[in-house]
C-alpha cells in the first residue's frame, strides 16, 4: 500500500521519518557497547510503515524501537547506541546503470 510523502516547507525542519524519505536521507544505527561496535542502515520505508510518516526522528523517540542484535545474541541488553542522519551515500544512492558502469571500469583497470 503506497503512502503519501509529506510536503517540504521552508524554513526546512527535518523532524519526521517522512521528511527524511522525501529529502533522500538515510539513518544508520551504531552500537557503542564496549567490544561491539556493530552498525547498520535503517530501512526507513519499513520504519515509516511501522511507526508512521509523521513519527519523530529524535533519538529518544526512536530508541524504544531498536536494539543491537549482536549484543542481544551475546546476552547483553544494550541500549547504548546512537543514530546518525545523513544524505544517501554511494553505493546506495547511485542509479543501477551508473553503478554497473563504475564496476566495469574498476574491473578493466585491474587487468
The residue ranking higher by pLDDT, 59 or 96, is: 59
In a domain, 6, yes or no: no
Q: CA–CA separation, 56 vs 25, rounded Å?
A: 15
Instruction: Give the total number of structural domains in the chain.
Output: 1
Task: Decide if 1 is inside a domain.
Answer: no
Q: Model confidence at 37, in pLDDT bands (50, 70, 90)?
A: confident
Residue 106 in domain:
yes
Round to whole Å and give the CA distance between 32 and 34: 6
Residue 56 forms part of a structural domain: yes
Assess if residue 70 is contained within a domain.
yes
The secondary structure of 63-80 as a DSSP string is GGG---HHHHHTT-----
Mean pLDDT over residues 58-87, rounded?
85
Is residue 48 within 8 Å of 3, Cβ to Cβ? yes
In a domain, 77, yes or no: yes
Output the pLDDT for position 104: 79
pTM beyond 0.85, yes or no: no
> Which pLDDT belongs to residue 99?
67
The domain in which residue 58 lies consists of 17-110
Q: Are 20 and 8 in contact (CB under 8 A)?
A: no
SS3 labels along 15-41? CEHHHHHHHCEEEEEEECCCCCCCEEE
Grid-cell match 574498476, residue found: 106
| 3 inside domain | no
d(CA 44, CA 51): 10
Amino acid at each position: 500500500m503506497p503512502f503519501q510523502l509529506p510536503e517540504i516547507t521552508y524554513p526546512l525542519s527535518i523532524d519526521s521519518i517522512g521528511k527524511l524519505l522525501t529529502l533522500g536521507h538515510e539513518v544508520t544505527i551504531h552500537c557503542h557497547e564496549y567490544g561491539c561496535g556493530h552498525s547498520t542502515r535503517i530501512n526507513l520505508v519499513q520504519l515509516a510503515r511501522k511507526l508512521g510518516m509523521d513519527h519523530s526522528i529524535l533519538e529518544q523517540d526512536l530508541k524504544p524501537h531498536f536494539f543491537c542484535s549482536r549484543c542481544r545474541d551475546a546476552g547483553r541488553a544494550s541500549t547504548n547506541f546512537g543514530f546518525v542522519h545523513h544524505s544517501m551515500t554511494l553505493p546506495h544512492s547511485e542509479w543501477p546503470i551508473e553503478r554497473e558502469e563504475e564496476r566495469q571500469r574498476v574491473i578493466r583497470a585491474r587487468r
